[in-house]
Chain A
């Protein structure tokens, strides 16, 4: 029987129509996949189901009765629970405090700690989600945090569970554990809505799939009756292969080197553990690994935003260990950071100002200590043309730009340094297909121009498509250095989970 249905949902954000008459039906006890590319409208639909937003048109039906959720509280009372892509947990509070937050068992005016902890233990046992009720959430791994999110929903007796891209931050074994839990919940009579854009997961676990594209429901399929090709065609409207056209690599001398770099956290744990790597001119080296295994810290140490506790970093043969960012950039480094908004650009400043960073002390933008605003403007206009950035003018505020265009600004600036070494971190996160392809082309072009490119990405398909060599980081160590021919999802997946021996 149909547990939850969305009928003809329409949602507009200004001129953009995120949901254009979307419909979806999930049956009780079913694991229902919701698929689509970035920007297809999946997240909007889920936030409407969960009461975070209200639709402009259409309705939601719960067991065939129409309902209206004006807030997540109403949705939760109706039996819905949601595990968001970015966890909504309180790091300084304990596990049990997080789980009962907002629905605390009471004893008089106080919180009944005993009852709370008991409830948590009982739920954890029943659904096989092992957690320590008294641990502080900030000390816990991502996989455990997700379990807490699920327990939060179960504490409120959620009969319908929505999970938004749950596996984005999990290692393959953690993912398998999650799937086991979901299967058990489904057999318990609960309904699971599983939002993802990953093919192999959908085929592994779902009973049925609804595919969205450009804000519309394209089709609803029974998983057993379909195949990867059909799903992809429905998602994209064309046959897509995530491979990139590129020539064979012609690597030259080593331009970026790290030798035995180690970074320890205050508690002594080695966040980066003796990492030695080399990137040569004319090659793309990709670092694969689930986010949180030391990649960010390693990049910070390479770039100069963090000092390693030991080890050496060399750029173009120069020892830059201990040197600051400015010195490394002079030595020949360009860097596309992970967070284009918080680090890679300055919202509130013009495109001209954003594009000038790093060049503002050299000609033609500067002479001596003085800068020339008209030179800023000219340079910006040239870059905007060359990279086809959609912006009103070089005087416009970059804060108004879409993700893709903002990333183009960052890329345009960093690439125009024409630095021998380029480090790109999650360069296509949150971008649509067109922008992603563009960035990929630029990275390959850099490599063909003899640059050394270090690519760090959580998207395994991107790493596999672009890299000439693949490194896998796990718990601060580089477990393997594989040439492109020997890198495939299975072996990399195992390495990402730390299973060296089995990867072969």
Chain B
């Protein structure tokens, strides 16, 4: 047991669980105050969140929402583990989504091949775009924190343009591409769940394993603790930055393609960005400081929170945006307790 938990929860991370619990308690209280002030009942609101996410009927929806959220959380966590920040998830997401929507339409070959190609190319697209930000820092000294964020605006703008003009499905009146043929869609498992969830779950396991059991994971962890130490010890920091961001962007791109090929079946302008998977994912990663297992746990929790939020809004009229407020309060609380954040 100890060997397993030693692998599962690395040492000091255990101490953070208490701080996280405290943060959640504080956020719940602050949220309750806000709900009360808005004229609603906090207890029934919270009860609906729980019921609407964890009940047997709601579980498939929660897991479906968790799929992209966990994916984007991992995308944010990987660089964060090494002390780097990727704020360009939205841009990488839409690039992957558009590629995923177009591949089955434009590539020769039918059905599953189109889907597979879409997924792979989406990963490439997102990875390359994220690597651009890393390259900007390595070669030109432009901080990737800023450049990754700034890059997402052009990405969103260009994909939006394509969806509204050249590649638009003119038969509908909406800014979206043509439907992905039904044989190229991700295989449905049950209800809203599709193969994409399995894919993300697999990636999650791979990330955890890589973090604990590969030399690349070790080097990334050490860089996160002290980048100068890693460099002095022989880690090629520039290369590591580019590879790390590439993996991050690749996962983000993949998530975009999974959403398109698994749920929406076309690239719809704005649809990938509106649910705020990127930012909730980032918050989950920050909560766990980039540590993969904690990140996944936090992402699952946030997924439940947000799915429950839909039910809360339906049943008690409390706007579901509240769940994002609660998440932000948790992050800020943790940031204040001197445990969270990179060693600057």
Contacts and interface: CB of A to CB of B under 8 A. Distances in A.
A touches B (Cβ under 8 A): yes
Interface of A: 303, 305, 324-326, 329, 335, 337, 342-350, 353, 356-358, 360-361, 366, 369-373, 395, 397
B14 to A, nearest CB: 12
Contact of A349 (B214, B216, B222, B236): B222
B7 interface: yes
B212 A373 contact: yes
B288 to A, nearest CB: 15
Contacts of A357: 222, 229-230, 233-234
Contacts of B225: 346-349
B232 interface: yes
Nearest to A372: B213
In the A-B complex, the 5 residue pairs with the smallest Cβ-Cβ separation, listed nearest first, are A357-B233, A326-B234, A346-B225, A346-B226, A346-B229
Contact of B235 (A303, A326, A337, A395): A326
Nearest to A367: B215
Contact of B236 (A326, A348, A360, A371): A326
A445 to B, nearest CB: 23
21 contacts: A303-B232, A305-B231, A324-B234, A325-B231, A326-B235, A326-B236, A329-B234, A335-B232, A342-B228, A346-B225, A348-B343, A349-B225, A350-B11, A357-B234, A360-B215, A361-B215, A366-B215, A370-B213, A371-B218, A373-B6, A397-B12
Interface string B196-217: 0000000000000000111111
Contacts of B11: 350, 395
A78 to B, nearest CB: 35
A357 B227 CA distance: 12
A34 B65 CA distance: 69
Contacts of A358: 233-234
A379 to B, nearest CB: 13
A191 to B, nearest CB: 41
A371 B232 contact: no
Contact of A370 (B215, B222, B226, B229): B215
B61 interface: no
B48 interface: no
A344 B218 CA distance: 16
Contacts of B214: 369-371
| Interface SS of chain B | helix
A368 B318 CA distance: 54
Interface in B231-261: 231-236
Interface string B82-93: 000000000000
B291 interface: no
Contacts of A361: 215
A346 B225 CA distance: 6
Contact of A353 (B216, B218, B235): B218
A329 B343 CA distance: 27
Contact of A324 (B12, B226, B236): B236
Given A325-B233, A346-B230, 4 more contacts: A344-B229, A346-B229, A350-B11, A357-B234
Contacts of B235: 326
A353 B12 CA distance: 13
A343 B228 CA distance: 5
Given A361-B215, A395-B11, A345 B234 contact: no
A165 B105 CA distance: 75
B221 interface: yes
A353 B221 contact: yes
Contacts of A349: 221-222, 225-226
A412 B76 CA distance: 36
B269 interface: no
Most chain A beta-carbon contacts within 10 A, residue among B215, B230, B231: B215
A360 B232 CA distance: 14
Contacts of B233: 325, 357-358
A397 B13 CA distance: 12
A341 to B, nearest CB: 9
Contacts of B343: 347-348
Nearest to A333: B234
A360 B219 contact: yes
B213 A371 contact: yes
Most chain A beta-carbon contacts within 10 A, residue among B6, B7, B226, B232: B232
Nearest to B210: A369
A347 B225 CA distance: 7
Most chain B beta-carbon contacts within 10 A, residue among A345, A346, A373: A346
Nearest to A342: B228
A329 B236 CA distance: 12
Nearest to B227: A346
Contacts of B222: 346, 349, 353, 357
Contacts of B215: 360-361, 366, 369-371
